[in-house]
Amino acid sequence: KAFKLWLSLQVFGVDAFRRAVDHGLDLAEMAERILRARKHWHVVTPAKLGIITFQYRPPGLSEVEVDQLNEQMTNAMCRSGYAYMSTTQLFGRKVQRLCLNRLDAIETEITETIKKLELIAQDFCTTQ
């Protein structure tokens, strides 16, 4: 593994790695701003190292239902093939986790991913 890193640094240079890391950090911070500005989203842990965790918390759901909804949303997003996300357990709650480390990711993709998550949530909430 060390050889792969060394070779990548030789081929691409330290500046390319720095730009890639900065890009992921910037996208995660942007995702945090978008989530904080929209209704029903709760940022669980702020953007850090290109990762953000959050929950969709519409009114009228119990804590257990919120956890189930967020897991269903993440699974549906992954099945759709639009974006890959994961869930994790934080503070005893199921949260969605977005790791923004794709070098070619652009800002509009982050906005669209959040919009698609909202549509998935609305679909689940209206069919239950």
Which strands make up the sheet holding 93-99, listed edge to edge?
41-48, 51-56, 93-99, 86-90
pLDDT value at 127 more than 80: no
pLDDT value at 128 more than 70: no
The predicted pLDDT at position 62 comes to 95
What six digits make up the tokens of 31? 């995702």
Residues 35-91 have pLDDT tens digits of 999 999 999 999 998 999 999 999 999 999 999 999 999 999 999 999 999 999 999
- The full set of domain ranges for the chain reads 2-127
Give dist(CA 102, CA 122) in Å, integer: 28
Residues 6-41 have pLDDT tens digits of 898 899 898 988 888 898 899 999 999 999 999 999
Contacts of 58 (CB under 8 A, 6+ apart): 40, 69, 121, 125
pLDDT value at 103 more than 80: no
Question: For the domain 2-127, what is the CATH code?
Answer: 3.90.1150.170
